[in-house]
Structure 1
Amino acid sequence: MADIRQVTDAFAVAAQLSEEDVAAIAAAGFKTILCNRPDGEGGPMQPKSSAIRAKAESLGLTFVALPFSGAPTPEIVSQMAHVLNDAPQPVLAYCRTGTRSITAWALTHAGQGAGEEIVDAAAGAGYDLSNIERLL
């Protein structure tokens, strides 16, 4: 089973998922899987998002692909906010380690005056986002 790290009641992150993880994710109550990892980034052994999508959809989950590399751009942050607002919750986002997913999630809150709360929520899930607190 994937190492799922709950950030809020509506959002969690994980490292790379496999098809085998999807049934347990559905059983855990997640409604949407959000993929932030480009296919092939980890080489040919990395599970394809299309296979994870097929398994997720066969179990009634929503699957959204929003892959990106490096720091999330303003466009990615905007698209992430749209997904988080519109997709059935709770949402489980994944990438290679979970870091880019939680960073994009945090940046969707930029300008809302909740920087310390966002950094604390990330820290509770095991991610240090103190370096971007000033952006939040």
Structure 2
Amino acid sequence: MEPRKLSDDFSVAPQIEPEDVAKLAEMGFRTLITNRPDEEVDEAHSSKAMAEAAAKAGMNYHYLPYYPGEMTFDLVADFEAVMKSAPKPAFGYCRSGTRSSHLWGMSQAGKMELDKIIETAAHAGYDHSSLMPVLKFYATRRGKIL
């Protein structure tokens, strides 16, 4: 498990193991966000199991399931609310880390230059270039495109 840093407050990775949670806490992460729906994983990787591992490690835990192809305004708003209130830095994961990185990107639209969002994600190993129309839309909803 290698965290891929998107900002000082948020990193992502592909699916982690329950024993990785303690390692994340040792690395300084204070919040764990699961974006992988329980329907995609076995019981050992369920949100319940990961919440227990986070509690044992002294981390905050949030389950924000992001079903493939189903990014919604509510999901992005929920992610933003978690990121606003949760202790940082936070660590998010899903099957490959892509959905977690998409939520971060959407949360930055209108706050960060869109090209910078794409560049930052690419540096972390995620291609967000196909998200540009959606990023523009989210930025427009916030009243600005950077």
TM-score between the two structures when normalised by the length of structure 1 = 0.91
The equivalent position to 1:54 in structure 2, one of 52, 58, 69, is 52
The one-letter code of the counterpart of 2:124 is A
1:1-136 equivalent positions in 2, closer than 5 A: 2-42=1-41, 44=42, 47-71=45-69, 72-112=71-111, 114-136=113-135
Measured in 2, the distance between the counterparts of 1:74 and 1:90 equals 23
Runs of 4+ in 1 over 6 A off after TM superposition: none
Label 1:122 to 1:52 Cα distance change in 2 as closer, same or farther (>3 A).
same
Structural RMSD (CA): 1.5
Measured in 2, the distance between the counterparts of 1:60 and 1:111 equals 33
Measured in 2, the distance between the counterparts of 1:113 and 1:17 equals 28
Gaps of 5+ in 1: none
Task: Calculate percent identity across the aligned residue pairs.
Answer: 37
Paired positions, count: 134
Q: Deviations over 1:88-128 (max 9, x none)?
A: 10010010100001001101122335211111111110001
Match of 1:63, SS? strand
Measured in 1, the distance between the counterparts of 2:16 and 2:47 equals 9
Gaps of 5+ in 2: 136-146
Contact 1:10 1:91 in 2 (8 A): yes
Measured in 1, the distance between the counterparts of 2:102 and 2:112 equals 16
Label 1:113 to 1:64 Cα distance change in 2 as closer, same or farther (>3 A).
closer
Contact 1:66 1:80 in 2 (8 A): yes
TM-score between the two structures when normalised by the length of structure 2 = 0.85
Match of 2:19, SS? helix
Match of 2:45, SS? coil
Measured in 2, the distance between the counterparts of 1:108 and 1:4 equals 19
